[in-house]
Amino acid sequence: MAQADRVAFLLDTAAYFAAARSAMLEARRSIHILGWAFDPETRLAPDVEGKGAAVGEFLKELACARAELDVRLLVWKSALPIAASQHFFPHRARRCFHGTPVKFRLDESVPLGACHHQKVLVIDDQLAFVGGGDIATDRWDTVRHLDDDGRRTMPWGGRHGPRHEVMAMIEGQAAAELGELVRERWVRATDIRPAPDPHGAPTPNLWPAGIKPEFETAEVGIARTEPGWRRFPEVRETERLHLAAIGAAKRLIYLENQYIASPIYAEALAARLRDPHGPEVVIVSTAKAPSWFDQMTMDRTRSKFLATLRAADAHGRFRAYSPYTRRGRAIIVHSKVSIIDDRLLRAGSSNLNNRSTGFDTECDIAVEAQEGEAGAATRAAIALYRAKAAAHFIHAEPAVLARLHAETGSLAKAIDALNGARRLRPLAPQPLGPLAELIAAFHLGDPADTEDSWRPWRRKANIELARRQFIQDLTTTINDGRLR
């Protein structure tokens, strides 16, 4: 937990890239980046032309112009098939920064088969970005998600599809804590610890002009996932926070996520749907995963996930959607957002699959409202952001969606009332053949930790054991009256 002076949640990557570029131009001491991917050809501002338009050249120019500026990038050393699918971005980045003041490293300090999935940018230990968005060539899009947007152009020609992302922007001590997370990752990868940022006068103008924060003077929680590997202990904070939040929900659980596959999360949500006094559950996810591997693995287990929730929905409180453009093109949902009632707003890199609970590295941040009058402003800000996030998918006014939500007592009913163009369409489980059933049963491609990463036969038994333990713990919690 750490104090933040201001916190904003940026809808879609056009807003993130513009804010990041603005802040990096003002940096005086350090620019530190963690990424699953980083492509030096990425254009942070599609309308900017010239040598510094691509982020690689932009960072080199900053580092060369300011000798005191420490620019570091730590990017996952991805497996060859993944690198090939992304035009070998790690190798292009290494070539781009070779012989320059920019310190670029590829990080392989994870177990075989795991990946570094944290997406963090920290500037002067004063301003930080954390969420689901990588700095890559196929990420940029606006909140309008237009069918034909010439700015969604790849460097080598052609256009990428519409994409939805969310990044949190944090100012203050919480940003410094994320800076320490970056330094810890750097020393694990290189055995060299970067010097901490000197605590001098605050850098002026880091917070980008025109961005209104959702929260001011807020306490921020930072939740991580780290696999137990070699001398490093396992960290499962993101899973614990999700399960605690789902268990504490009273009225509404709103989830945006690329991968919804974990049977433990499915059981947690199903238990709340079976409760006659439980919350409404609304999920927004991609119609179909963009890669063939994820279609074979994550989409199969998602069908099981959705089927579990449908079967538990005895009181008609579950709805799952996929977003589409005006002409019916599927929008990739890459955001990882969880909103519980008007009480908790969370964004980060964690998917709702097994890998994100104990096998890959993840980083999320959360803002929670206090009880009573002290938390009234925070609750109002969470409700406003949720209305803005859901309304942007259907091109509705957030105030209108919020009003209908209040009148009907159901976010899904409010969405359906305004969804005449079917921009959000029902997401249903798909029938599975024998091979798909096998993949879903053993969660192939989706290990939960290092113990079952190459032992799928063990994974099935461990998942069932964890599911039973979760049910037992939840039942005890409800019976003891501890569920708030």
In this structure, the answer to whether residues 453 and 329 fall within a common structural domain is yes
Instruction: Give the C-alpha separation, 301 to 333, whole Å.
Output: 17
In this structure, the answer to whether residues 404 and 267 fall within a common structural domain is yes
In this structure, the answer to whether residues 76 and 14 fall within a common structural domain is yes
Mean pLDDT of 175-181: 97
Among 44-48, 146-150, 233-237, 453-457, which stretch is predicted with the lowest mean pLDDT?
Answer: 453-457
**481 pLDDT more than 60:** no
In this structure, the answer to whether residues 381 and 273 fall within a common structural domain is yes
Identify whether the C-beta of residue 162 lies closer than 8 Å to the C-beta of residue 206: no
Position 392 confidence tier, pLDDT thresholds 50, 70, 90 = very high
Largest CA distance in the chain: 65
**484 pLDDT more than 50:** no
In this structure, the answer to whether residues 138 and 276 fall within a common structural domain is no
Mean pLDDT of 365-376: 95
Determine, yes or no, domain membership for 484.
Answer: no
DSSP 291: S
Mapped onto helix, strand or coil, the DSSP state of residue 128 is strand
In this structure, the answer to whether residues 50 and 153 fall within a common structural domain is yes
Give the per-residue pLDDT at 82. 67
pTM above 0.85, yes or no: yes
pLDDT in tens, 95-133: 999 999 999 999 999 999 999 999 999 999 999 999 999
**227 pLDDT more than 60:** yes
Give the per-residue pLDDT at 482. 45
Question: CA-CA-CA-CA torsion for 297, 300, 302, 303, nearest 10 degrees?
Answer: 180
In this structure, the answer to whether residues 110 and 163 fall within a common structural domain is yes
Give the per-residue pLDDT at 474. 67
In this structure, the answer to whether residues 206 and 330 fall within a common structural domain is no
Token readout for 213 is: 């924060």
Point out the domain boundary residue: 213, 245, 275.
Answer: 213
In this structure, the answer to whether residues 186 and 232 fall within a common structural domain is no
| Residue from 181, 187, 197, 182 nearest 126 by CA | 197
Instruction: Give the C-alpha separation, 442 to 263, whole Å.
Output: 11
Determine, yes or no, domain membership for 256.
Answer: yes
One DSSP character per residue, 332-358 reads EE---EEEETTTEEEEES--BSSHHHH
Mean pLDDT of 19-24: 97
In a 13 Å sphere around the CA of 149, the CA atoms on its Cβ side amount to: 24
DSSP 252: E
Determine, yes or no, domain membership for 236.
Answer: yes
Determine, yes or no, domain membership for 219.
Answer: no
pLDDT in tens, 201-210: 899 999 999 9
Mapped onto helix, strand or coil, the DSSP state of residue 263 is helix
Averaged confidence pLDDT in the chain: 91
**70 pLDDT more than 80:** yes
Neighbour-count burial for 359-389, b at 16+ CB within 10 Å, e otherwise: bbbbbbbbbbbeeeeeeeebbebbbebbbbb
**267 pLDDT more than 70:** yes
Determine, yes or no, domain membership for 136.
Answer: yes
Domain range enclosing 182 = 2-213
Mean pLDDT of 5-32: 97
Give the per-residue pLDDT at 53. 85
Give percent above pLDDT 70 in the chain: 92
pLDDT in tens, 430-450: 888 888 888 887 787 889 888
Give the per-residue pLDDT at 40. 94
Instruction: Give the C-alpha separation, 443 to 298, whole Å.
Output: 8
**90 pLDDT more than 90:** no
Identify whether the C-beta of residue 162 lies closer than 8 Å to the C-beta of residue 325: yes
In this structure, the answer to whether residues 347 and 402 fall within a common structural domain is yes
Give the per-residue pLDDT at 477. 60
Give the per-residue pLDDT at 475. 63
Point out the domain boundary residue: 184, 213, 242.
Answer: 213
Determine, yes or no, domain membership for 220.
Answer: no
Question: CA-CA-CA-CA torsion for 188, 452, 269, 473, nearest 10 degrees?
Answer: -90
Give the per-residue pLDDT at 93. 86
In this structure, the answer to whether residues 244 and 119 fall within a common structural domain is no
DSSP 254: E
In this structure, the answer to whether residues 173 and 281 fall within a common structural domain is no
Instruction: Residue 364: give its domain's CATH number.
Output: 3.30.870.10
Give percent above pLDDT 90 in the chain: 77
**394 pLDDT more than 90:** yes
Amino acid (1-letter code) at residue 255: L
Determine, yes or no, domain membership for 218.
Answer: no
Instruction: Give the C-alpha separation, 185 to 77, whole Å.
Output: 13
Count how many domains the chain has: 2
Give the per-residue pLDDT at 478. 55
Position 20 confidence tier, pLDDT thresholds 50, 70, 90 = very high
Give the per-residue pLDDT at 88. 61
Determine, yes or no, domain membership for 134.
Answer: yes
Point out the domain boundary residue: 163, 184, 213.
Answer: 213
Give how far the C-alpha of residue 197 lies from the chain's centroid of Cα atoms, to the nearest Å: 26
Mean pLDDT of 404-416: 98
Position 200 confidence tier, pLDDT thresholds 50, 70, 90 = confident
